[in-house]
């Protein structure tokens, strides 16, 4: 189990008092803690009692008991409903109120007994992701990094299925030809991406390339494809889009889900979807990057706090923790931060916890294709409990 400081636990679950929520535009509970949002001078941007700024699209996400998801279509003030995720014991539904009815519908939903949780749909305005800076100070104590082991097996049974949640996919590169791309889906637009659409190679392409490079370094013989890929475009970090992205990955029976987002705040609803896929679905690993902020991952990237998520930090060439890498008890493994990729006639170096997490994704995919279980892989890599 990931160890978190007593203070963080108390703060996270609301035992330490938060700022007064009086005068809030809207408030919600997250892991029992009251999160209050206050209007600002900028339209649709709200300050909060937890030090984060939120963008609201004035839609509502609810977690509802099984059998009740269709009961909200005709609720007064509701324009549209959409099922985002089917969990084993409940459903996550997106509610779109009619114009000017957001607060009225929100209060109605809070008073319905079958509704287990209500939150506004939001995105964190001041996101902290994929920015590198050196760690400040020299007095930080690190436990010995749990390094990812590079393994080989005698026989590869079948390719695994990898879902990559990111932005900027372009699979036209020959370096990605070993992948069998099953689906390209845009979780922000909620539509399948057409194959002949003009693509911009971005961060998602880099992640996919590192995964492919790691798999291509293995003796995977007599397999036409090294892995099956589900590419899920998700650039907005809207909570509803992130929930939908993980839900699509699970519906596509992904063995591994890779995400490079580093989030300073995570909804319990998103965490429920991730947790349900690991416990009751076919997902063996959800692999996230620790983040490039030279901070404690438990605080800087709340995805790392979710039980069952595998968080990857970065190593320097000398085997020490990279100066930019997030660290701490929420980091499960550390992998090399730098990967060399072929681009046209050049070899380019990419570096960061995203590339380290991609390398780990390729390694775990390979081991799953060898017939190892997720428990076998964790034991093989001496995962620190």
- What positions carry a catalytic annotation? 166, 203, 354
Of 36, 33, 28, the residue nearest 13 (C-alpha): 33
152 Cβ contact list (under 8 Å, min separation 6): 218, 219
| C-beta atoms surrounding 164 within 10 Å | 27
Query: 188-226 burial string, b = 16+ CB within 10 Å, else e?
Result: beeeeeeeeeebebebbbbbbbbbbbbbeebebeeeeeb
Q: How far apart are CA 315 and CA 144, in angstroms?
A: 12
Is the separation of the CB atoms in 354 and 202 below 8 Å? no
Please report where in the chains the tokens 């030090």 appear, as a residue. Answer: 51
Q: 3-state SS string over 127-159?
A: CCCCCCCCCCCCCCCCCCCCECCCCCCCCCCCC
| Whole-angstrom distance, CA of residue 145 vs CA of residue 322 | 11
Q: Find all residues with CB under 8 Å of 283, minimum gap 6, and list them.
A: 249, 250, 254, 255, 256, 257, 277
SS3 79: strand
């Amino acid at each position: 189990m990931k160890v978190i400081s007593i203070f963080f636990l108390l703060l996270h679950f609301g035992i330490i008092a938060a700022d007064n929520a009086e005068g809030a535009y809207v408030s919600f509970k997250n892991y029992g803690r009251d999160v209050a949002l206050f209007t600002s001078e900028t339209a649709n941007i709200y300050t909060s009692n937890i030090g984060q700024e939120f963008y609201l699209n004035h839609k509502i996400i609810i977690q509802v008991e099984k059998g009740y998801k269709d009961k909200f279509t005709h609720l007064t003030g509701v324009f549209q409903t959409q099922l985002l995720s089917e969990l084993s014991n409940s459903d996550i539904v997106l509610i779109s109120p009619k114009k000017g009815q957001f607060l009225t519908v929100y209060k109605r939903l809070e008073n319905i007994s079958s509704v287990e949780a209500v939150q506004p749909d939001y995105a964190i305005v001041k996101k902290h992701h994929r920015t590198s800076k050196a760690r400040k100070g020299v007095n930080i104590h690190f436990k010995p990094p749990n390094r990812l082991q590079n393994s080989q097996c005698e026989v590869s049974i079948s390719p695994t299925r990898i879902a990559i949640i990111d932005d900027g996919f372009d699979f036209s590169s020959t370096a990605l030809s070993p992948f069998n791309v099953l689906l390209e889906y845009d979780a922000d637009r909620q539509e399948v991406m057409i194959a002949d659409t003009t693509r911009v190679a971005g961060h998602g392409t880099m992640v996919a390339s590192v995964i492919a490079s790691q798999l291509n370094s293995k003796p995977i013989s007599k397999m036409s494809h090294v892995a099956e890929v589900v590419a899920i475009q998700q650039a907005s970090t809207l909570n509803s889009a992130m929930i939908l992205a993980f839900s699509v990955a699970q519906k596509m029976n992904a063995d591994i889900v890779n995400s490079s987002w580093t989030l300073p705040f995570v909804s319990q609803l998103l965490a429920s979807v991730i947790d349900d896929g690991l416990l009751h679905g076919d997902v063996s690993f959800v692999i996230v990057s620790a983040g490039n902020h030279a901070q404690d991952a438990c605080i800087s990237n709340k995805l790392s706090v979710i039980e069952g998520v595998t968080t990857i930090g970065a190593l320097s060439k000398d085997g020490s923790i990279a100066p930019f890498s997030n660290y701490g008890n929420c980091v499960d493994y550390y992998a090399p931060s730098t990967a060399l990729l072929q681009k046209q006639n050049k070899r380019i170096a990419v570096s960061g916890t995203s590339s380290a997490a991609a390398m780990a994704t390729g390694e775990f995919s390979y081991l799953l294709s060898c017939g190892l279980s997720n428990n076998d892989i964790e034991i093989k890599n001496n995962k620190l409990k």
